[in-house]
Structure 1
Amino acid sequence: MVLEESVVHDVRLSSVGPGRATGSDVFHNPSGLDLAMKLHYLRVVYFFDSEAAEGLTIMKIKDAMFTWFNPYFITCGRFRRSDSGRPFIKCNDCGARFIEAKCSKTLDECLATKNSSLYKSLVSHQVIGPELSFSPPVLLQVTTFKCGGISLGLSWAHVLGDPLAATEFINSWGQVMNNLGPKMLSNIPRSVPKPIQSGPEKDPISAKRIDPVGDHWIPPNNKKMDTFSFHLTTSQLNYLQAQIWGPSLDQTPPFESLCAMIWRCVAQFRAGPEPKTVTVCRLDPSKKDNDIIGNNQVISKVEVGSECCIIDMDLSVLASMLRDEGVDERKQIEEAIERDEGVSDFFLYGANLTFVDLEETNLYDLELKGHSPTFVYYTIQGVGDEGAILVYPSSHGSIKNGVDAKFVTMILPEDEMEKIKSELKLNGFLLEDN
């Protein structure tokens, strides 16, 4: 990171909060499903060219944030623990952390590097703890490039909400920047959840219970993890679909086909048992248009029989299983958390090999002066040893023009990554310059 740290310089810190006081003794209580995600963090970087950023000053950005944070006041609070140990947010208007920085590269140079470690330097990787009362759940970084373009880095504690909630949060700032009112939320602050009548005391497959982490909210890793990202063009995706399905009209969407291929690659190169159970996370369609905040994404387990060998399975079978045979475990996860009154520690991403579908989260709806981002980079911090694969549109044109290009971020054990990259390159899904 020495190179990237020198490229990003002149870092300044401040805080921004709601323009109006929230009031005293206002508390927000995360649900059991929220608390199951508290060791994970979404890191998103939005890149805008110089035309979109022209005339955009730090003062204008902050002025809009004062209005923006009025309905999103819980994101400006700080975590505390009740007498029982259950975390909650004290809505005390301490603010989100605001980071200003400069980059010695142009926007085009930065994007041309295809260097995820450089992208990571454009967003904060601070986690919550070890002192809860001083840890902001949201951090925003504005980085100015040499050419006049900018990036906006969002660090979002997953305990606040899922990827859709995070995307709607930042898109609401864009609405304020464009002189539109901020989105009003209907479900905050929330009171302590009512006790639920839980089923058998069995932990879900999709979430892994770990030893208590205390007030430092990050899961431990037994393996050194690596992150790698790459584009997949429309022609590459068409080739993949043709390889799996041939002339058949009964094809799964590209997400399932792509994940099936990566699943088999991981099974091929993973030391020890094959990953016969995977987790699939995707948007809950029933929550898409609701003005709510929280963790509502569908979390499904997909299991193959113990007698099956994933390396020998047809990709069409794996893809069909990912599409059709997922079992939603949200209720079981909620019950596991509430059985222990919200004090247990679980993690989800990387408990099993995890596939995250981000294609419907409106990543490119954030606009500045009518301009969408040139590119959006997405990753997750706090992924466990089994790894996670994120799939999302590679550009605004992917959505606008019906072009199905994708961007993939893989977070996997370091000793597997180079082998998987070589296999993807061998099969034509990774270009030489990647």
Structure 2
Amino acid sequence: MVLEEEIEVYDVRLSSVGPGRATGSDVFHSPGGLDLAMKLHYLRVVYFFDSEAAQDLTIMKIKDAMFTLFNPYFITCGRFRRSESGRPFIKCNDCGARFIEANCNKTLHQWLATQDWPLYKFLVSHQVIGPDLSFSPPVLLQVTKFKCGGISLGLSWAHVLGDPLSASEFMNSWGQVMNNLGPKKLDNIPRPVPTSGQPGPEKDPVSAKRIDPVSDHWIPANNNKMDTFSFHLTSSQMNYLQAQIWGPSLAQTPPFESLCAMIWSCVARARPGSEPKIVTVCRPDPNNRANDIIGNNQMICKVEAGSECCIVDTNLSVLASMLADQGVDERKQIEEEIERDEGVSDFFVYGANLTFLDLEETNVYGLQLKGHKPTFVYYTLQGVGDEGAVLVYPWPKGSTKNNGVDGKFVTMILAEDEMVKVKSQLKLNGLLLEGN
């Protein structure tokens, strides 16, 4: 493993890039209730391309494509303000996204071989919005050149702009511009201030947690120090897991639910006396993605095992079936709760309960440079609450494939003092190899 002091990301340069044409004066975008519920979360994505894909890719070419991309995505170049009532909105003033250039003293292969996930903080900005809203860009992009000629593209995406599918579409559209194809047209921005409808019966959502006001520094405070760990599951391991849970039965849940059931059980064993009886599952809404490609539209489903249920003793097939079939989508309750306070109160979703984020349908590897897909893509979250979050997305297709089941990549964000226990449980159940 390469020690942190041996990794050097140097020659860091900062600039800004915005729309190629002026947006106009007095253009405002008002995030909806679900957007504001996610405002304390940030998606961090790093795309890795080898030297063949990055050949002749200059900073000027990257910026030129960004100028074109930001014409329809102009709200991502604005800055937050507050209305007289205190509700946040975006002033679309073309201030731009922050653009970071850097170099690394390692080759792409050396970097990927370390599998030291905390080091990835050097390849993507971890800046959050605030404490000065008017100077905080919601999007930051970092280009890091490795000494072999490969590059990484790091995206810092404020979740208030949109869910992971929105962020993925943003980057994939940039790839289309790089390949001389126009970016997608956005039909849902800018949005006006939502009209206050009749709120339903007051029923606090379980999937979103209200916290003390954070003012203009948009990051939740944790009681525990959080740790991040990632691992690759081969297709053989996924097949073994499915067989372990379901045996020869044909009535299996998809791999995502089976994998999350195992992780749920492992986390419960690491929390004796306080096992998570309620979890949250977030995934794209298949019925709400026509032209609405920016915004928080993902399903936010609570799955409740019941107070009398012992997660550790519950059969994994039962947990998997609960994750697949018993989720209750709480988006409406979350939105009503936000609007009841006119968008002023502070909430968080990821880590309010143990949260499973399904990125299977997010087209993680859709960004292409000169016809080349990324060698690897890394996703993580910032701003996760104490209960933790687990991200699951596909391993590159064709890398490891067996019996039609692709491998998976998992990123876990849990309290530091329980991560060792969870990893031990994952090894006992065959999901982690001894070297991990």
Structure 1 letter corresponding to 2:396: S
Could you tell me how far apart the structure 2 residues matched to 1:328 and 1:399 are? 34
**How far apart are residue 5 of structure 1 and its match?**
8.7
Could you tell me how far apart the structure 2 residues matched to 1:133 and 1:202 are? 34
Question: Unpaired runs of 5+ in structure 2?
Answer: none
Could you tell me how far apart the structure 2 residues matched to 1:397 and 1:331 are? 39
2:187 is equivalent to residue 202 of structure 1: no
| Structure 2 counterpart of 1:33 | 34
Post-superposition Cα deviations, 1:123-148, rounded to whole Å, max 9, x if no partner, equal: 00000000000000000000000100
2:179 is equivalent to residue 178 of structure 1: yes
Could you tell me how far apart the structure 1 residues matched to 2:289 and 2:394 are? 18
| Structure 2 counterpart of 1:168 | 169
2:427 is equivalent to residue 419 of structure 1: no
Structure 1 letter corresponding to 2:407: A
4+ residue stretches of structure 1 with deviation over 6 A? Answer: 398-401
1:23-422 correspondence runs (5 A): 23-397=24-398, 402-422=404-424
**Structure 1 vs Structure 2 CA RMSD:** 1.5
Native 8 Å contact 2:401 2:407 kept in 1: no
Native 8 Å contact 1:233 1:405 kept in 2: yes
**How far apart are residue 272 of structure 1 and its match?**
3.9
Q: Aligned pair in 2 of structure 1 residues 102, 2: CA closer, same or farther (>3 Å)?
A: same
- Stretch moving more, 45-54 or 197-206: 197-206
- Stretch moving more, 287-296 or 150-159: 287-296
Q: Secondary structure at the match of 2:52?
A: helix
Give the share of equivalent positions with the same residue, in percent: 82
Could you tell me how far apart the structure 1 residues matched to 2:7 and 2:305 are? 47
Could you tell me how far apart the structure 1 residues matched to 2:317 and 2:350 are? 25
Question: Unpaired runs of 5+ in structure 1?
Answer: none
Native 8 Å contact 2:30 2:190 kept in 1: yes
Q: Aligned pair in 2 of structure 1 residues 17, 5: CA closer, same or farther (>3 Å)?
A: farther
Native 8 Å contact 1:364 1:396 kept in 2: no
Structure 2 letter corresponding to 1:209: R
**How far apart are residue 397 of structure 1 and its match?**
2.8
Q: Aligned pair in 2 of structure 1 residues 20, 4: CA closer, same or farther (>3 Å)?
A: farther
**How far apart are residue 334 of structure 1 and its match?**
0.2
Q: Aligned pair in 2 of structure 1 residues 191, 400: CA closer, same or farther (>3 Å)?
A: farther
Could you tell me how far apart the structure 2 residues matched to 1:403 and 1:49 are? 26
**How far apart are residue 400 of structure 1 and its match?**
9.7
**How far apart are residue 287 of structure 1 and its match?**
2.6
Q: Secondary structure at the match of 2:365?
A: helix
Q: Aligned pair in 2 of structure 1 residues 140, 27: CA closer, same or farther (>3 Å)?
A: same
Native 8 Å contact 2:99 2:140 kept in 1: yes
Could you tell me how far apart the structure 1 residues matched to 2:321 and 2:209 are? 26
Native 8 Å contact 1:4 1:121 kept in 2: no
Structure 2 letter corresponding to 1:381: Q
Could you tell me how far apart the structure 2 residues matched to 1:336 and 1:348 are? 13
Post-superposition Cα deviations, 1:218-259, rounded to whole Å, max 9, x if no partner, equal: 001000100000000000010001110001000001100110
Could you tell me how far apart the structure 2 residues matched to 1:150 and 1:118 are? 16
Q: Secondary structure at the match of 2:373?
A: coil
- Stretch moving more, 103-112 or 331-340: 103-112
**How far apart are residue 399 of structure 1 and its match?**
10
- Residue correspondences, number: 434
Post-superposition Cα deviations, 1:45-67, rounded to whole Å, max 9, x if no partner, equal: 00000000000000110011111
Could you tell me how far apart the structure 1 residues matched to 2:57 and 2:186 are? 27
**How far apart are residue 431 of structure 1 and its match?**
1.4
Q: Aligned pair in 2 of structure 1 residues 4, 57: CA closer, same or farther (>3 Å)?
A: farther
Native 8 Å contact 2:49 2:376 kept in 1: yes
Native 8 Å contact 1:27 1:190 kept in 2: yes
Native 8 Å contact 2:160 2:296 kept in 1: yes
Post-superposition Cα deviations, 1:126-177, rounded to whole Å, max 9, x if no partner, equal: 0000000000000000000010000000000000000000000011000000
Structure 1 letter corresponding to 2:259: L
Native 8 Å contact 2:7 2:106 kept in 1: no
TM-score normalized with structure 1 length:
0.98
Q: Secondary structure at the match of 1:312?
A: coil
Could you tell me how far apart the structure 2 residues matched to 1:29 and 1:79 are? 10
Q: Secondary structure at the match of 1:310?
A: coil
Could you tell me how far apart the structure 2 residues matched to 1:23 and 1:4 are? 47
Q: Secondary structure at the match of 2:53?
A: helix
Post-superposition Cα deviations, 1:283-334, rounded to whole Å, max 9, x if no partner, equal: 1111344343100000000001211111100000000000000000000000
Structure 2 letter corresponding to 1:112: A
Q: Secondary structure at the match of 1:168?
A: helix
Q: Aligned pair in 2 of structure 1 residues 431, 368: CA closer, same or farther (>3 Å)?
A: same
Native 8 Å contact 2:42 2:159 kept in 1: yes
Could you tell me how far apart the structure 1 residues matched to 2:342 and 2:199 are? 12
Post-superposition Cα deviations, 1:85-116, rounded to whole Å, max 9, x if no partner, equal: 00000000000000000111111111111111
